[in-house]
Chains A and B, each alone.
Chain A
Amino acid sequence: MVDEAMLLLEYLGAPVMALVLAVMTWSVIGWRSSGATREDGPPQRDNKTVVTTWLIVTSALAIFVVINPGFVGLAEIRGEPESDYVIEMVAQQFAWSVVYPNGAVGLDELVVPSEKRVRYDVNSLDVNHSFWIPAFRIKIDAVNGITTQAYATAEGEGSIDDDINLRVQCAELCGAGHANMYLPVRVVTDVEFNEYIATLLESE
């Protein structure tokens, strides 16, 4: 969805870009002057029709973008408040810990069930961090004293070895270890997920 929105914005931006580039190019080719003659151009001070048209077109574009992808996207990323699982993510300088629905705590990786809607409850024990899984296109800051939430449904299976973006990356400057404050993400089937968290709980 986010990728489609980006593509849409690229399509909308292209003609605007093209228009300005065309004028710039033609300025160099067609309207160039040596300056030697000190000749002036035509005295066009204003043109109400052009200004009004421009205002209408740019306003229409802005309104269009606010509606789609703006509010359409907003509705989609927010979605329903229901979720299949709640995973708690706790950030601190400079590590993540994961608290799974059954209370098991993971420190080395985040294991996520595929095709299930997961709510991430994000917290920080110290400074601001940000919970970002690039592959899922979600991000929410971890703020001390506040529980913030993000939703995502993973598709397919895989790990950071398949896709560098399958990682929980801290995205808010948090100090010396910020660059390396990430946690690999592994997407597994729902059954494997439940087995994994059960084993994890036993081993504690």
Chain B
Amino acid sequence: MTMVDSAPAAPPRAKARRPFRWVIRGTILAVVGYLAGVLLTVAIRGGSPTDEVAVIFGYVFALIGWLAGIGGIEAFGRQWVGKKPQVSEDRSWGRYFAFCVDHKVIGIQYGVTLIGVLLIGGIAAMIMRIELASPGVGVVDLDDFNKIVSMHGILMVAVAVAGVIGAFGNYIVPIQVGAADMAFPRINALAYWLLPPVAVGLLSAPLLGSFNAGWTAYAPLSVTNESGQILFNLAIITFGLVSILGAINILVTVITMRAPGMTWGRLPIFTWAAFATSLLAFTVTQFFAGALVLVTMDRVVGTAFFSGEVGTGLLYEHIFWFYSHPAVYIMVLPGFGVILELTTTFARKPLFAYKAVVAALLAIVGLSVVVWAHHMFTSGMANFLHGPFMILTEAISIPTGIIFLSIIGTLWQGKLWFRTPLVIAFGWLFNFLIGGITGIFLADVATDIHLHDTYFVVAHFHYTIVGGAIFALIAAVFYWFPKITGRMYNDKLGIVFGVWVTLAFNATFIPLFWAGMNGMNRRIGDYPPAYETANKIASISALILGASFLLFVGNLAYSAIRGPKAGPNPWNARTLEWLVSSPPTTHNFLSQPRIVGHPYDYGIEGSVHAYFPDLVVDDDHGSDDVDHDAEGALV
């Protein structure tokens, strides 16, 4: 019954013409840049080409070369010499490998890249769990184990930070606010194309001995370890740039590009969550980059920020957590948005307490920047800081509770339609609940002192980050897949995957709470035999968990090509992205949408979120005497 603002018929799909030419040009210029940077450094100061100074200059020149080659010359460089900038106008699948400014292409680029990184990080996790299946040193030695832990950690953190916001923040937010694209499309493409160097930088670190200081990279260890650490620093500083540029784009898009009638009170909740996340990412990301710049200077030019008479490792911890605690919310806030969006769609009910949820999201943004030192109760910082940080940390549970209330309230007496996204949302709810409750143990100083740096913490943050961010990413993929690809996946297999991944995840991490409480510390490749049973259960379950992703990738990859046509609105949802064709046309809307009501008024007679005043209506079911609100409007 819905009317859709769609193109009459898709134009014949263009054939890809030399689709990889930009990536090839970028790679060549990156290699040339790397060599130039290294050679220049060696020529000026002598030394080895693998010296950290040489690597730094090589990386910087390579990054510039890569960006120029991938399309930066055309998109930005031409403007500097007074010509009109050019971006990829490719209509074929080659646009996914080009400097394309369409936010939907960029969203898919983020999504596919980060799911690839997720799978690589997952393989690292499998190696760790195989090693930990029994005590003693098995498949990898202790130092390699630490390096694999560190690699797993940082790859997964990158996926959690950028997964939902990069893929769906880009794809969905502009459509949900009724805009044709992001506010700064070229910056958006630039931000994405900074991401492959991050992955390459991290994954090539083993060439320089890798990094063994964990994703946290605590100094002074990160000052004294092998040179792979320098690639970690450079890659993560670059990643910070990705995050900040992406955040600016979402903030400006939401503030300035909302369609007529899209007031702040009518903004879809996922967009609100993306907005809150971006506010946070824009404000705090530079602190991690700053900390890593200082680490790099300690390593390369002999400063002593984190060692010696005056410097101290405590300083690193403060700067690091000043980013990295808010980062936890950068990871889970978009997840809140996804789950709330799904719940209201599949419960067929208005989002319960919308205003309170928005207030809660903003309260979390505010509180999250003043709780960082709860990671440092055992660090040796001044004792008087314990109390205030404990209070503030407990306080953040109150807005988080509002999110739970909204989900419960929305489910209450709903007409629950158990399709794959809702099944995964239930997994999310269960996991994040455990993550939240176990968080209280870590917010409390007395219990945290024992539990800090144990497997209890490992289990807790996997419940919040995998449970809260990765499950939301998976749910979002299943929710918006029909919109993005225009095709539907196999729902039964989707539900099987949803149940499988939830059970296997819980079987993996529940035993680890026990291990941590009973004295097993984290980041160790060997442990006393007393913890063997818990670890064996965790390892077997982890392999089952890992295997579930074959079903995930298989189902989606097959369906993207062969799945049945999904139609514009398979979930009968109300937000703007469901009122346009699947996939949407290049500029999303053929005519300007006008927003006249709340997006989630399911069950409210005659309610309308948006309609297209200039759209020519098919005569099939739209004649002039039909009540516009009930029939013609886009419900």
Contact = CB atoms under 8 A, between A and B. Distances in A.
A132 B380 CA distance: 13
Interface in A22-53: 23-24, 27-28, 31-35, 38-47, 50-51
B129 to A, nearest CB: 15
B461 interface: no
Interface string A87-128: 000000000000000000000000000000000001000111
A5 B444 contact: yes
- Which of A47, A164, A170, A177 has most B Cβ within 10 Å? A164
B411 A27 contact: yes
B348 A5 contact: no
A130 B522 CA distance: 12
A175 B219 CA distance: 12
Contact of B440 (A9, A23, A54): A9
Given A140-B380, A165-B518, A20 B414 contact: no
B452 A143 contact: no
B183 interface: no
A203 interface: no
Contact of A40 (B444, B447, B603): B603
A175 B225 contact: yes
Interface in B289-317: 307-309, 311-314
A178 B524 contact: yes
Contacts of B602: 40-41, 43
Contact of B213 (A1, A78, A169, A173): A173
A88 to B, nearest CB: 15
A46 B598 CA distance: 13
Interface stretch (B70-78, B248-256, B525-533): B525-533
A175 B142 CA distance: 9
Interface stretch (B7-15, B35-43, B398-406, B504-512): B398-406
Given A38-B572, A74-B387, A175-B146, A33 B416 contact: yes
B417 interface: yes
Given A33-B417, A139-B449, A127 B354 contact: no
A146 interface: yes
Contacts of A16: 433, 437
A46 B355 CA distance: 9
A141 B441 contact: no
Interface residues of A, number: 81
Contacts of A50: 353, 405, 409
A77 B446 contact: yes
Contacts of B518: 134, 165
B601 interface: yes
B391 interface: yes
Given A50-B409, A130-B453, A179-B525, A41 B349 contact: yes
Contact of B523 (A9, A165, A173): A173
Contacts of B519: 134-135, 164-165, 169
Contacts of B351: 45
Interface in B195-243: 212-214, 216, 218, 220-221, 224-225
B579 to A, nearest CB: 16
Nearest to B311: A145
A139 B603 CA distance: 55
Contacts of A172: 218, 453
A139 B522 CA distance: 14
Residue from A17, A41, A77 having most chain B Cβ neighbours under 10 A: A41
B378 A130 contact: yes
B604 interface: yes
A157 B526 CA distance: 27
B143 interface: yes
B562 interface: no
Contact of A20 (B394, B429, B450, B452): B429
Given A23-B408, A33-B417, A45-B350, A127 B521 contact: no
B561 interface: no
A158 interface: no
B314 A146 contact: yes
B558 interface: no
A38 B572 CA distance: 8
A17 B441 CA distance: 15
A128 B220 contact: yes
Nearest to A39: B415
B444 A179 contact: no
A158 to B, nearest CB: 14
A77 B225 CA distance: 35
Contacts of B349: 40-44
A66 interface: yes
Interface string B513-548: 000011101011111101000000000000000000
Of listed B397, B402, B440, B443, residue having the most chain A CB within 10 A: B440
A41 B603 contact: yes
B426 A24 contact: yes
Given A2-B446, A134-B519, 7 more contacts: A41-B603, A46-B353, A62-B394, A62-B395, A66-B390, A138-B449, A180-B526
Q: Nearest 8 CB-CB pairs, A to B? A: A73-B446, A134-B519, A40-B603, A179-B524, A176-B143, A35-B417, A148-B380, A33-B415
9 contacts: A20-B433, A43-B350, A45-B598, A45-B601, A127-B221, A127-B224, A128-B220, A139-B378, A145-B311
Interface of A: 1-2, 5-6, 9, 12-13, 16-17, 19-21, 23-24, 27-28, 31-35, 38-47, 50-51, 54-55, 58-59, 62-63, 65-66, 69-71, 73-74, 76-78, 122, 126-128, 130, 132, 134-135, 137-141, 143-146, 148, 164-165, 169-180
